[in-house]
Amino acid sequence: MSETVTLEALPGPIELDLDHTALIIIDMQRDFLLPGGFGEALGNDVAQLQRVVEPLAALLDAARAAGMLVIHTREGHLPDLSDCPPAKLHRGAPSKRIGDPGAFGRILIRGEYGHDIVDELAPLDTEVVIDKPGKGAFYATELSKVLADNQITQLLVTGVTTEVCVHTTTREANDRGFECVVVSDCVGSYFPGFQRVGLEMIAAQGGIFGWTAPGAAIIPLLKERAPAEPAV
């Protein structure tokens, strides 16, 4: 067992084993975040998601400096939509459905500009990118294998949206035995009420799905671990 650090979190402190912890960044995609994109076309206020970018970029920098495994996910589908179940495809207003032309290419289709991650959080070549057809990052993906191969037992969960893909992934992870810390200012919802309640639901009942903590509580723990800059 490696050394652990104590993270002050809700519903109480958690011992984090940083050697076996990964940062997972859920669906920070242009289609969801950019003005003019799919999210906004559905009538959503994308500013609610954009405010996640800055704190998440700071957490990502700290995780990279600490040598932590970083995993990015993207929700989307094959161009022929063969991996999109009819129940998902036929939902929503016509012309604003998955695969329809949008401001940034076909909506939520792999390879399109809108499907990719916003520039501020662009994955490094060395980082894992998981393309997922569902809301949860475990369903029909290689995520379980990536985590097992890297001996990961704990996850820092970030991204969008809090009540949809962040929640689904956290619940899937919790059922698989991972301890999840949902980073409260690094997750976002289009709906302020869902953001608040979504976070409360994670830590309720003694941490029924996991813990919540702000990035500011986690970053110093990562910095302590990062190798010192060489003196010049």
Q: Contact residues for ligand C5J (CB under 6 A)? A: 27, 75, 160-161, 164-165
For tokens 């998902």, what's the residue?
A: 88
State how far the Cα of 32 lies from the Cα of 115, in Å rounded to an integer. 9
Type and span of the H or E element at 85: none
Least distance from ligand C5J to the Cβ atom of residue 26, Å: 6
CB closer to ligand C5J, 161 vs 184: 161
Q: Which is nearer to ligand C5J, 12 or 85 (CB)?
A: 85
Which CB sits closer to ligand C5J, 107 or 160?
Answer: 160
- In the complex, least distance from residue 108 CB atom to ligand C5J, rounded to whole angstroms: 8
Name the minimum Å distance from CB 67 to ligand C5J.
Answer: 27
For the bound state, the minimum distance from the C-beta of residue 5 to ligand C5J, rounded and expressed in Å, comes to: 30
- Please identify every residue annotated as catalytic: 27, 132, 165
What is the rounded CA–CA span in Å between residue 168 and residue 166?
6
Please, which contacts does 191-200 make with residues 24 or more away whose CB atoms are closer than 8 Å?
191/48, 191/163, 192/48, 194/161, 194/162, 194/163, 195/48, 195/162, 195/163, 197/163, 198/162, 198/163, 198/166, 198/167, 199/162
Residue 21 or 162: the one with the smaller Cβ distance to ligand C5J is 162
Q: Chain-centre distance of CA 126, in angstroms?
A: 18
